[in-house]
Structures are given as C-alpha cells and as structure tokens.
Amino acid sequence: MSINNRKAFHDYQILEELVAGLKLIGSEVKSLREGNASLIDTYVYINNGEVFVKGMYIAKYKESSYMNHTEVCDRKLLLTKKQIKDLQKDLKVNGITIIPLSIFLHNGRFKLKIGVAKGKKNYDKKQSLKEKDIKRQTQRELNR
C-alpha cells in the first residue's frame, strides 16, 4: 500500500532520495490506511530547523467523530539534524527544490519518501516521453 506522486518524475529530475517519518494524528492514520491521500501540488520546506510538507491532502476519516483532522495542512516530517542540515545546503543551490515522492507503510508507521529535485525544461520532458515510448515498443516486440 503506497501513494505515489507520479507527476513528480515527469516534471522533475530527482537528484537524491530520503525517507522521513510523518507526524500524524489518529484519524489521519486511519484515512491513510484506506489510501485516501494525494501528493499533487505538494512541496517540502524548512522553517526554524524543522521540515514540513506543504499542501498534502488526507481525506477526512468517515467514521471519526467531531475530533477529525483538517484535510489540507502543513505536516511535520521527522528527520535527523544532519539530514536537515544537508537539505538546507541543497536548497541554497538555485533551481533545487524538495518534493514528496511517495507515502508508504514501513513496520506499522507511515513514511514519506522525499526527493531533492531540479525542474525539467519542456524539451527534457518531451525527450523522456520519447525514451519511454521507445522502451515500451521494444518490450512489446520482445514479448511477441
């Protein structure tokens, strides 16, 4: 069970990947277990030495009471001080951003895979689509 940000690999060139823990409340966890979340239009930012994911959508858990969570809000990521320091260094380079790639379950806890990324230009996107089509065609011919 994982939730992927498929658009991330199309729009960005991933330079480095990290796995971070997510700070969640009960109804968020139950909703994530059902797969009711989205990573579209999200990004990661650092504020006062803490790392947050901005704009992550987790649907309300239908069977929770009035103590339900807000659907779209900033959620804290759990990383070591060294990892945060390395991310701050990466962000100082022009054109580099940090984006969430996927949410997955590891030993009963939800983790967020984040990527240090550089945006692709339009011609890079077209080139990667061409390569994907060629790879798909050769795979089809081999399966015949």
Q: What is the pLDDT of residues 19-54, one digit of tens each?
A: 999 998 888 888 888 888 889 889 999 999 999 999
- Is the pTM value of this prediction over 0.95? no
Q: Of 35, 51, 29, 37, which Cα lies nearest the Cα of 99?
A: 51
Q: Which of 2-16, 54-68, 71-85, 98-112 has the lowest mean pLDDT?
A: 54-68
69-94 pLDDT per residue, tens: 778 889 999 999 999 999 999 989 88
Multiple choice CATH, 2-143, 3.20.20.150, 2.40.280.10, 2.40.50.140, 2.102.10.10: 2.40.280.10
